[in-house]
Amino acid sequence: MRSAALASGGSLASQLGLKVRRVVVDAGHGGRDTGAIGPHRVREKDMALAIARKVASRLRSLGFMVVMTRNEDKFVSLDDRTRIANEAKADLFISIHCNAAKRRKLEGVETWTLNVASDHYAARLAAFENAEADRTVSDLRLILADLATKANATDARDLAQAVQSSLVRTLRSRVGKVRDHGVKQALFYVLLGTHMPSILVETGFISNPAEESRLKSTRFQEGTAEAIARGVKDFVDGRRRLALAP
């Protein structure tokens, strides 16, 4: 019975059997906002766009409608990215980024959802990604007051888990060793205000010379795109199974 499903902890959207048709793919940074820059001058904005384009192509091949927040090297504000997603009436929002850290040995992939930063690392990363934002502390307080009860919070977490698992599984089979940093939470402005489950994917540490080189490779980009698209499909299939459960 549906009432039993509601009690099991799944999201309201999944339990009502609401379909996922339209996905917004957000290539982080762009234009005057380069994002992180690697030791060999590889720019995050370029890698994010290259991977985002491939993710969009993979998702379309799986039957999803895709909207990109940018499809060229141009500046798009964080608020505009959210607006694009909401005006498109997207069912999911996926923001593509590359990670960076002072310690050049750090490597691996991680997927983020929106919530209060869980540790100093999460807070520092969010501060870097939020550098261009216009929102104020009072804006944040209003948003956070309702964050815990957002209907899409469960779906965002499930989507992040599906994408992260797919990333680790696919990249290990394609390129070898991949460090799994798991699913984490932080206050990313680009995820604030979206009306759909939203995640941010850090596809590798551009500050690590080896990962910087890997991020440039077509093989790695295609493997990452395949993994993200497969994770989305796994998430959607899981929702469908829940909706059909007796």
Q: CATH homologous superfamily for 19-244?
A: Zn-dependent exopeptidases (3.40.630.40)
Confidence (pLDDT) at 4? 38
pLDDT tens digits for range 149-194: 456 788 999 999 999 999 999 999 998 889 999 999 988 888 888 8
The pLDDT score that the predictor gives to residue 6 is 39
Closest CA to 188 of 7, 69, 17, 29: 29
Question: What pLDDT sits at residue 175?
Answer: 87
Strands 198-205 and 109-114: antiparallel
What tens digit of pLDDT does each residue of 80-89 get? Answer: 999 999 999 9
Domain residue extents for the chain: 19-244
Tokens of 45: 């904005």
Q: What is the token pair recorded at 210?
A: 């080896």
From residue 129, alpha-carbon distances to 44, 96, 112, 155, 246 in Å are 11, 11, 12, 23, 43
CA 36 to chain centroid, in Å, comes to 17
CB 75 within 8 A of CB 3: no
8 Å CB contact between 125 and 186: yes
* Burial label, 103 (beta-carbon count in 10 A; 0-12, 13-18, 19+): exposed
Query: What is the predicted pLDDT for the residue at 144?
Result: 55
The predicted structure's pLDDT at residue 154: 87
Give CA–CA dist 121/138, Å, rounded: 23
In the chain, which residues have pLDDT < 70? 1-18, 116-151, 242-246
